A = this chain, B = another copy of it.
Amino acid sequence: MLIVKTIHETRIHITEARALGKTIGLVPTMGALHEGHFSLIRRCRDECEYCVVSIFVNPTQFGPNEDLNRYPRPFEADTRSCREMGVDLVFAPEPDEMYPHENITWVQVEKLSEHLCGASRPDHFRGVCTVVAKLFNIIQPDSAYFGQKDAQQVAVIQRMVSDLNMPVEIRSCPIVREPDGLAMSSRNRYLNPEQRRQSLCLFEALSLARELVCGGQANSAIIIEHMQEIITSHSEVRIDYISIVDNTLLQPLLKIDRPALIALAVYIGRTRLIDNIIVDPPA
Contacts and interface: CB of A to CB of B under 8 A. Distances in A.
A105 B107 contact: yes
A193 to B, nearest CB: 43
Interface in A53-108: 103-108
A137 B163 CA distance: 11
Given A105-B108, A106-B110, 20 more contacts: A7-B165, A103-B163, A104-B110, A104-B112, A104-B159, A104-B163, A105-B107, A105-B109, A105-B110, A105-B129, A105-B160, A106-B107, A107-B164, A130-B164, A133-B164, A134-B163, A134-B164, A134-B165, A137-B164, A140-B167
A196 interface: no
A12 to B, nearest CB: 13
A138 interface: yes
24 contacts: A7-B165, A103-B163, A104-B111, A104-B112, A104-B159, A104-B163, A105-B107, A105-B108, A105-B110, A105-B163, A105-B164, A106-B108, A106-B110, A107-B108, A107-B164, A108-B108, A130-B164, A133-B164, A134-B163, A137-B164, A137-B165, A137-B167, A138-B165, A140-B167
A66 B165 CA distance: 27
> How many copies of this chain does one complex carry?
2
Interface in A145-165: 159-160, 163-165
Nearest to A249: B104
A166 interface: yes
Contacts of A107: 105-108, 164
A133 B129 CA distance: 14
A85 to B, nearest CB: 26
A152 to B, nearest CB: 14
Contacts of A109: 104-105
Interface in A3-53: 7, 11
Contacts of A160: 105
A163 B11 CA distance: 16
A110 B165 CA distance: 22
A20 B202 CA distance: 54
A137 B130 CA distance: 15
A157 B164 CA distance: 15
Nearest to A105: B163
Nearest to A108: B106
Interface string A115-154: 0000000000000011001100110100000000000000
A214 B172 CA distance: 60
Contacts of A140: 167
